[in-house]
Amino acid sequence: MSEPRTLLAIDHLSKNFGRVTAVDGISLDIRENEFFALLGPSGCGKTTLLRMLAGFETPNDGRILLDGRDIARTPPNKRPVNLMFQSYALFPHMSVRANVSYGLEMERLPANEIRSRVDAILATTELVPFADRKPEQLSGGQKQRVALARALVKRPRLLLLDEPLGALDKKLRGAMQLELKRLQHEVGITFVIVTHDQEESLVMADRMAVLKDGRLLQCDTPHAVYEHPADRFVADFIGVMNFVPGKVTADGVLAANGARITGKVPAALSPGASAVASVRPERIRLFPSVETANRTTGTVEALAYQGLDLQLHIRTPLSPKPFLVRVTADAAGRRPVSAGDTVELGWDPADVRIFAE
């Protein structure tokens, strides 16, 4: 396998609106043909970043290199980059076909080429039966596919998608996540998706960047971000995490109640500093059979069945918030628990992540 080529290099990009800094010196690379997610809570700067890539905002500082050429100040209509808008922004006075051919007409391509390319993309997005309809006659999912077709037909170097699934209901969302992945694979175009939904980026992205307050916190594969969050915020934002506050020791964290949580201490943390030890709910075992370094007892407060899994809220002396524990329904079936029961919990030091408070 050859080394993946960098398509887009974002270099110390900053943008402020008046005194508010929306994007604060972000640098990251997006590779050819990857599905890249920009993730963060609202107000983190991900939409501003996306709009700078599309050309609707001009950065105050930094460069945007597409194939090595700085496009930061190129107007949106002169960039080989297309955006799929959150509202889809379909032209309501044009049919589906007219919407899709609009961008090609702007390139002044010959009519027959426009026709064949539009036909092809309508087929790919399964929109042929709706070609003559107006946007108002389409369902949410169909509108979304038109917006996608309209952007894809231009064969952009980079396709930007702003919360593309935000307007869809939950069930359709799941189907469209896979559909988008399939399409991206089929057309071989680099996708950059903006989302606030961490689950969505975990499912869809090849790599993801987590943003907060205009800064880049972490940029890596979903697996790496999930398993090795860069800081406490990322750990909390991605997936579910149990936190135990305390003080750093040589081999872990000393909790307020005197319990020791063993785990690898990052080099940056010196003993005595305030820190949190954390562990994912699915890494915790109920009634651990082998001797594990980290143990505690707790009281079951609530149980919730979620199909294959059983989720338990367990009050422990380690933290003010109850621990969340996820076990498979099979495992739970072997030794049933109910609310009010006292249970033993245990987890491996290898599953513990320690962050500065």
Partner 1 sequence: MAERSPGTRRALWFVLSLVFAFLYIPIAVLVALSFNEGGLPTAWSGFSLKWYASLAGNAAILQAALNTLIVALVSTAIATLLGTLLAIGVEMRRQYGKGLEALIFAPMIIPDIVLAIALLSFFSMLNLTMGLHTIILAHVVFNLAFVCSVVRARLKSFDWSIVEASADLGASAITTFRRVTLPVILPAVIAGALLAFTLSVDEFIIAFFTAGAGRASTTLPMQIYAMIRFGITPEINALATIVMAVSITALTLSQRLNRGVIGQ
Partner 2 sequence: MRFTIVSPTRLRSSLLMAPALAWLTALMVVPCALVLALAFFRRGIYGGIEYTFTLENFGLVFDPLYAGIFLNSARIAGTATLIAVIIGYAAAYAISAAPRRLQPVFLFFAVLPFWSNYLIRTYAWIVLLNREGLITQLLRWFGYTGEPPSMLYTEGAVIAGLVYNYLPFVILACYAPLSRLNPELAEASRDLGASALTTFRRVILPLTVPGIAAGAVFVFVLSIGNFVTPALLGGGRFQMIGNLVYDQFLTANDWPFGAALAMALIAIMLLVLMTQALLADRAAGRAAEARGDADG
How do 81-84 and 158-162 pair as beta strands?
Answer: parallel
DSSP tag of 76: G
Task: Name the percent of the chain in helix, strand, coil, to the closest 5.
Answer: 30, 35, 35
User: How far is residue 336's CA from residue 36's CA, in Å, rounded to a whole number?
Assistant: 42
Q: Is residue 56 part of the contact set for partner 1 (CB under 8 A)?
A: yes
| Residue with smaller CB distance to partner 2, 57 or 179 | 57
Q: How far is the CB of 22 from partner 1 (least distance, A)?
A: 13
Q: Which residues contact 2 (CB under 8 A, 6 or more apart)?
A: none
User: How far is residue 25's CA from residue 188's CA, in Å, rounded to a whole number?
Assistant: 30
Q: How far is the CB of 163 from partner 1 (least distance, A)?
A: 18
| Residue with smaller CB distance to partner 1, 25 or 76 | 76
| Residue with smaller CB distance to partner 2, 40 or 135 | 135
Chain centroid, CA 282 distance in Å: 20
Site for partner 1 in 182-201 (CB under 8 A): none
Q: Is residue 305 part of the contact set for partner 1 (CB under 8 A)?
A: no
The encoded tokens of residue 251 equal 């081999």
Q: Where are the beta strands (DSSP E) in 20-148?
A: 20-31, 35-39, 61-66, 69-70, 81-84
Rg of the chain taking only CA atoms, in angstroms: 24
- Which residue stretch of 147-155, 293-301, 318-326, 327-335 sits at the interface with partner 2 (rule: CB under 8 A)? 147-155
| Binding partner of 57, given partner 2, partner 1, none, CB within 5-8 angstroms per partner class | partner 1
The answer to whether residues 32 and 190 touch, using CB atoms and an 8 Å cutoff, is yes
- Which residue stretch of 55-63, 153-161, 170-178, 264-272 sits at the interface with partner 1 (rule: CB under 8 A)? 55-63
| Residue with smaller CB distance to partner 2, 3 or 107 | 107
Q: Is residue 76 part of the contact set for partner 1 (CB under 8 A)?
A: yes
Site for partner 2 in 64-103 (CB under 8 A): 75-78, 82-83, 85-87, 89-93, 102-103
Q: Is residue 312 part of the contact set for partner 2 (CB under 8 A)?
A: no
Member of 6, 58, 87, 137 binding partner 1 (CB under 8 A): 58
Q: Where are the beta strands (DSSP E) in 112-214?
A: 158-162, 190-195, 207-212
DSSP tag of 108: T
The site for partner 2 (CB under 8 A) is made up of 54-56, 75-78, 82-83, 85-87, 89-93, 102-103, 106-107, 134-136, 150-151, 154
The site for partner 1 (CB under 8 A) is made up of 56-58, 76
